[in-house]
């Protein structure tokens, strides 16, 4: 979705969200309404003593994905960008055409001694996005907004696949999970103006409606992992 189209949808999003909040008396968190986190993974990565590990997630507009993971203790860096396509077409305008194969993604660098990969997956499925929405998240529609876990190691693949199977068996979500689990073949940094976008533009109506509730949900569901974040 281009910036112009996204801006045009902001008013519609605000109106729909306001209707839902007033009419149903519930807090909307981008497709998922819950006050408690989903069950933790039964299988997680073993501790290896490593200080840094990289994970890549796609779950709708990368503004919201990044602003959540920035506030998780143990996460040391995040970058908004593109995965799933080639380097030559990894620009916002081209990706928004929905013909490049990319998904808006966020690279998360974390300390496994402080927060495990399994815990990041739990946050991804609990707070970051709705994993039952196919090729969209909320008002953003297209394959660039699909739900994807781009694994960077066989162990990540194993943990992610097992967790999805666990959630499906437990019927945690009312509809099937559509999240893809695929190897990371390339991550391409997004444009500078996309980095820390939610933090730099807190009064943007899109951020207020779609992303601020995610931050509140993270703080409510994972208080022991929540940390304040201020962009540099």
183 burial via Cβ count (<10 Å: 0-12, 13-18, 19+): exposed
Q: What's the sign of the alpha-carbon dihedral 32, 141, 198, 192?
A: positive
Q: Are 161 and 181 in contact (CB under 8 A)?
A: yes
> Would you give the end-to-end CA distance of the chain in angstroms?
28
74 burial via Cβ count (<10 Å: 0-12, 13-18, 19+): middle
Give Cβ neighbours of residue 25 (< 8 Å, ≥ 6 apart).
none
Q: What are phi and psi of 106, to 5 degrees?
A: -130, 125
Question: According to DSSP H, which parts of 124-171 are helical?
Answer: 154-169
* Catalytic (active-site) positions: 61
Q: How far apart are CA 50 and CA 73, in angstroms?
A: 16
Q: Tokens standing for 92?
A: 């916002």
């Amino acid at each position: 979705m281009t910036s112009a189209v996204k801006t045009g949808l902001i008013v519609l999003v605000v109106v729909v969200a306001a209707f839902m909040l007033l009419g149903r008396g519930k807090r909307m968190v981008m497709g998922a309404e819950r006050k408690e986190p989903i069950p933790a993974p039964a299988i997680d990565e073993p501790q290896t003593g490593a200080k840094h590990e990289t994970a890549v997630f796609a779950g709708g507009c990368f503004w919201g994905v990044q602003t959540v993971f920035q506030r998780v203790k143990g996460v040391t860096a995040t970058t908004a960008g593109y995965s799933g396509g080639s380097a030559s077409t990894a620009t916002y305008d081209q990706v928004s055409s929905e013909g490049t194969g990319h998904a808006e993604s966020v690279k998360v660098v974390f300390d496994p001694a402080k927060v495990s990969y399994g815990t990041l997956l739990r946050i991804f499925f609990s707070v970051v996005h709705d994993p039952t929405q196919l090729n969209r998240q909320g008002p953003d529609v297209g394959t660039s907004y699909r739900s994807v876990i781009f694994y960077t190691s066989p162990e990540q693949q194993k943990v992610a696949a097992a967790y999805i199977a666990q959630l499906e068996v437990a019927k945690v979500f009312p509809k099937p999970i559509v999240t893809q689990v695929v190897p990371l073949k390339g991550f391409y940094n997004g444009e500078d103006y996309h980095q820390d976008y939610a933090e730099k533009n807190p009064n943007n109506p899109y951020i207020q409606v779609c992303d601020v509730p995610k931050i509140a949900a993270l703080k409510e569901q994972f208080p022991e992992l929540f940390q304040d974040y201020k962009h540099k």
